[in-house]
Amino acid sequence: MGASKRLPRAVVEEVRTRKIFGIRAGLGPHRFLALWAVAVGDRVFLRTWNDKPTGWFRAFAIDGRGVFQIPSGREIPIRVRRAGGARLLDAIDAAYAEKYNTPGSRKFVRGFATPRRRVKTLELLRR
């Protein structure tokens, strides 16, 4: 995939340095949900903790478009695609472990590294 499809460098850098982000799946007027995101290289990834039928991950499966909200308040129109490949998923696991390293975060970091959550990894792309 060409670099033109990736998020702007400033957004990737904010993902690298900030902890909580907002996501809104689809194009409807839904609320933003808080989540964790990580940057690996010049790419941005996120994982779902649970896969509820009415959750954001399933909404992205229906319509791969949405909005990513960064802490500075900027809203970025996005589309998503599934991330795969053992090396990439391992790098994403490591990025979560390095970034979210507080004692309270460890349970979630371990959970994100389980096979059932690794297969639910999405890459955010420019829409």
Query: What would the pLDDT profile of 24-67 be if each residue is shown by its tens digit?
Result: 998 887 789 999 999 999 999 999 998 899 899 999 999 999 99
Number of domains in the chain: 1
Q: Alpha helix (H) ranges present in 1-127?
A: 9-17, 56-62, 86-99, 106-112, 115-118
Q: What is the pLDDT of residue 1?
A: 52
Q: What is the pTM of this model?
A: 0.93
Domain with 8, as residue range(s), is 3-126
CATH of the domain at 112: 2.30.110.10
Give Cβ neighbours of residue 17 (< 8 Å, ≥ 6 apart): none
Look up residue 10 and give its two tokens. 């400033």
